[in-house]
Structure 1
Amino acid sequence: MSKKVLILSGSPRKGGNSDVLCDAFMKGAQEAGNEVEKIFLRSKKIGYCNACYYCKKSGGVCAIKDDMAEILEKMHWADVIVMASPVYFYSIDAQMKTVIDRTVAQWTQIKNKEFYYIMTAAEESSTVMDCTLECFRGLAACLSGSKEMGVIYGKGVYEAGAIKNTATMQQAYEMGKGI
């Protein structure tokens, strides 16, 4: 049975390492017969949550009129959500954090999603991605019925595209194909 897959690429660099891994994951998922859409977050206009809680009084409609409404709609549509971010100071980048925070408008309505996480870092230590992964897991923990399905760790890559021709690329492709 094919699934609807939404890939949220938080990379600030088009063709950056986490973005390239998203493409490999997407290729595998498409070849397996799934419907896949990738959103490059940097190309979207997404404002910061200002905690006005207009969304609470308006059935999940946010007071900020930007591209986040479209992303929330696609999160509802998806069976599978892939979240990708480079590691910045042991955490997710600003693009991904803004999306997570803005999910507050409809977090109680986004249910039963399978999650995959993609992370890249210049550092190679075994703990470099711990906080990043916990940020991803924090969102999923708040969404009813969420299941973590896989994690991809791209360590020791800094320059854009350095991840190409590594075993991690194949892992991303195979994980996508396995949906």
Structure 2
Amino acid sequence: MATTIKKQGEFETMKNVLILSGSPRKGGNSDLLCDEFMRGAKESGNNVTKINVASKKIAPCHACYFCGEHGGECVYKDDMAEILQAMIDADVLVLASPVYFYSIDAQLKAVIDRTVARWLEVKNKEFYYIMTAADEDKSSMDTTLACFRGYADCVNGAKEMGVIYGTGVYEKGKVLNTPAMAEAYEMGKNV
């Protein structure tokens, strides 16, 4: 959880920031926005961890509820237990995804669904959302944003802090010369 440190006679709060990059393309547009958010958050003295969820082994939830009968332990022995603990320990959760058919991608959705094992322990989080899409119109991201907000609605004490829209970016790296990069950096800096 957040720790208070003394800096030049003043108290400053260092937060634990967890960025969950759902992009299946390492260095893809939403992943690049995550890196800028991370750069800003680190420069402000926060403890930041970024996880590329596509590089992790995460089985989809099968609603067997083994976790309910075994103290939050999942029947699957994969990378999700570590990710879920990081989510519980974080003060700030950054959820990032490219828009796939007007929704979040499968990699990040699997993570969200698997939080069911200990979902009541994921509480009092500040949420930031990062989305990218080939479409220029922000309204194309409405359902994606609704998915993020739907998850946050299930998190006790959740507070939405910001949304970054990377519009008109399809080819890998196209987001680099857009205002979204500066927005991600500034949002991270102001965590």
TM-score by length of 2: 0.93
Deviations 1:9-36 (A, max 9, x none): 0000011000000000000000000000
Match of 1:109 in 2: 121
Match of 2:54, as an amino acid?
R
CA RMSD of aligned residues (A): 0.6
Q: Does 1:32 align with 2:44?
A: yes
Match of 1:138, as an amino acid?
G
Higher relative contact order (CA 8 A, sep 6+): 1
- Structure 2 counterpart SS, 1:129: helix
Match of 1:29, as an amino acid?
A
Percent of counterpart pairs with the same letter?
Answer: 68
Match of 2:158 in 1: 146
CA distance in 2, matches of 1:125, 1:73: 36
| C-alpha deviation, 1:59, in angstroms | 1.3
Deviations 1:117-169 (A, max 9, x none): 00000011231000000111111100100110000000000001100021110
CA distance in 1, matches of 2:115, 2:172: 29
Among candidates 75, 94, 103, match of residue 63 of structure 1: 75
Alignment of 1:14-163 (within 5 A): 14-163=26-175
CA distance in 1, matches of 2:74, 2:146: 26
* Aligned residues of 2:138 and 2:165 also touching (Cα < 8 A): no
CA distance in 2, matches of 1:144, 1:5: 18
CA distance in 2, matches of 1:41, 1:6: 12
- Structure 1 counterpart SS, 2:176: coil
Structure 1: give runs of 5+ residues left out of the alignment.
Answer: none
* Aligned residues of 2:104 and 2:147 also touching (Cα < 8 A): yes
Match of 1:165 in 2: 177
CA distance in 1, matches of 2:155, 2:184: 24
CA distance in 2, matches of 1:84, 1:109: 21
- Structure 2 counterpart SS, 1:118: strand
- Structure 2 counterpart SS, 1:160: coil
Among candidates 7, 19, 30, match of residue 7 of structure 1: 19
CA distance in 2, matches of 1:44, 1:124: 31
| C-alpha deviation, 1:109, in angstroms | 1.4
TM-score by length of 1: 0.99
Structure 2: give runs of 5+ residues left out of the alignment.
Answer: 1-12
